[in-house]
Amino acid sequence: MLHSLRSNMNQDREDKVPEAFIYDHVRTPRGRGKPDGALHEVSTLGLATTVLRAIKERGDLDTHLVDDIVLGCVDPVGEAGGDIARAAALTADYGNHVPGVQINRFCASGLDAINFAAAQIMAGQHSLTVGGGVESMSRVGIGASGGAWPVDPAIAIKSYFMPQGVSADLIATKYGFSRDDVDQYAVSSQQRAAKAWSEDRFKNSIVPVRDINGITLLDRDEHMRPSTDMQSLAALKPSFTMMGEQGGFDAVAVDAHPEVEKVLHIHHAGNSSGIVDGAAAVLIGSAEAGRAMARKPRGKIRAFANIGSEPAMMLTGPVDVTKKVLARAGMTLDDIDLFEVNEAFASVVLRFAQAFDLDMTRLNVNGGAIAMGHPLGATGAMLLGTALDELERLGKATALITLCIGAGMGTATIIERV
């Protein structure tokens, strides 16, 4: 009797945990991350402002309801430094009262920003938040923020540091993916992205980036090469051979996974994520906040999780964190309708599919970062939106979004339409 009472009380307490609902999602198109890319002339602040302003204007948002803005950014230095989220809150005219915080968990920052923003809601301390991310890779440059991990012997040696491409090649070698396998995957990413664009599947999310006069700079992902085929990829040379051999990183890989005789270098620009510029934002709030805005939620954050994984392979965290988040949510793989696994490198996705014996028809159905690019701090938020749009389009319920992360981590979020 007493026991059942207590479990009822626990049930009550659990029921009282506020739910974090997703009210909106926007993203910029992704510009090629080079000086000739369409977004190169747009500052990091400009990109962040674009998506925050879109969130505000699309729903005629009363920004007095907004408690915080959390933005992911992986190289928060120079123009991207010094808390870009607060700067963007002001330039997007949210008002002086809206604070902002910038976070960094490398490639998953955009998804982590959403999880942090959702956690504020779930904790009952905030009612309405924005999560998202921004990265101008063409302007700030990958690795610009430095960090101890690759250079300080105290951590570099202990964590078997190697460049991510070498880790991606190690994953392929260890789990038996050939050059053909990864190229085949890359071709399919291009084809899926091309099809998604041709069917306008991203239309609910894309916010064109305009200049100060309102002239459109970019309204479509710029990195894609829809004509990619096996022949064109075969012409590309592996990118990480010299680094691996001369930089000593192949030897590091073998020390970490000694069953590997030799790291086979198979990744190149065509089967790795593209370097691009972009930003994304997601509006998250409690049920009451929805009522206050008089808006219906599009979905909710069902569960999220973070994990540290084996740092040498570095990029297998999605496998570990997926197990963790499914367990947290009390779900199985079969309960998930769609998976978005960031295409940092083809082998990352292939390993994910292999580990879970997953059908490709549920995985990255609209292509991914190989075709459209990976604006580091923003990608997680873009993937969540892509999944949500696709669930709505297909009339399905659940999606799991996950990204691999530098230094061996994984972040995953399960969303559910409501």
Partner 1 sequence: MNFVNFHVETDSDGIALLTWDMPGRSMNVITPEVIGEIEAVVDHVAAEASIKGCVITSGKDNFSGGADLSMLQSVAAEYQKARQEKGEEEATKLFFERARRLSQVYRMLETCGKPFAIAINGTCVGGAFELALACHYRVISDDDKARVGLPEIKVGLFPGAGGTQRIARLMQTGDALQMLFKGEQIRPKAAKAMNLVHEIAPAGEIVAKAKTWITAGGKGVAPWDEKSFKLPSGKVFSAQGMMVWPAANAIYRRETHDNYPAAKAILHSVYEGLQLPFDLALRVESRWFAKILRSPEAAAMIRTLFLSMGELNKGARRPAHVPATAIKQVGILGAGFMGAGIAYVTASAGMDVVLIDQDQAAADKGKEICNKLISGQVLKGRATGADKEALLARIKPTADYTGLAGAGLVIEAVFEDRAVKAAVTQKAREVLQPGTIFASNTSTLPITSLAQTYGEPENFIGIHFFSPVEKMLLVEVILGEKTGDRALATALDYVRAIKKTPIVVHDSRGFYANRCVGNYIREGHIMLLAGVPPAMIENVAKMAGMPVGPLALNDEVALDLALKIIEAAKRDLGPAAIDPTQENLLKTMVVEHGRYGRKNSKGFYDYPAQGTKTLWPGLDAFQSTKLDPDKIDIAELKQRFLVTQAVEAARVIEEGVVTDPREADVGSIIGFGFAPFSGGTLSYIDGMGVANFVALCEQLRQKFGDRFAPPKILIDMAKADETFYGRFAERMKRVA
Residues that bind partner 1 (CB under 8 A): 143, 146, 150-154, 156-157, 160-163, 246-249, 251-252, 254-255, 257-262
In the complex, least distance from residue 378 CB atom to partner 1, rounded to whole angstroms = 24
107 is catalytic: yes
244/368 with CB nearer partner 1: 244
Q: State which residue, 100 or 410, has the beta carbon closest to partner 1.
A: 410
| Per-residue DSSP letter, 50 | H
Instruction: Determine the Cα–Cα distance for residues 52 and 42; give it in Å rounded to an integer.
Output: 15
In the bound state with partner 1, the residue whose beta carbon lies nearer, of 64 and 262, is 262
We find the least distance from the C-beta atom of residue 144 to partner 1, in angstroms, to be 9
Long-range contacts of 234-242, Cβ-Cβ distance < 8 Å, separation of 24 or more: 234/183, 236/268, 236/269, 236/270, 237/268, 238/169, 238/265, 238/266, 238/267, 238/268, 239/165, 239/265, 239/267, 239/268, 239/269, 239/272, 240/163, 240/165, 240/166, 240/168, 240/169, 240/265, 240/267, 241/265
Min CB(255)–partner 1 separation in Å: 6
DSSP 334: G
Annotated active-site residue 73? The verdict is no
Q: How far is the CB of 357 from partner 1 (least distance, A)?
A: 17
Amino acid identity at 221: D
Within 8 A by CB and 6+ apart from 408, the residues are 159, 308, 309, 310, 311, 312, 313, 314, 316, 317
Q: Using CA atoms, how far apart are residues 189 and 191, in angstroms rounded to an integer?
A: 5
The residues that bridge with 101 in the sheet, in sequence order, are 70
Point out the catalytic residue in the list 25, 223, 268, 374.
374
Query: In angstroms, what is the minimal distance from the CB of 405 to partner 1?
Result: 18
Q: Which residues does 327 contact at the CB level (< 8 Å), separation at least 6?
A: none
Catalytically annotated residue among 25, 107, 126, 267? 107
Nearer to partner 1, 88 or 172 (CB): 172
Number of H helices, E strands in the chain: 16, 12
For residue 170, the minimal CB distance to partner 1 (Å) is 13
Nearer to partner 1, 217 or 376 (CB): 376
- Nearer to partner 1 by C-beta: 175 or 208? 175
Q: Which residues are catalytic?
A: 107, 374, 404
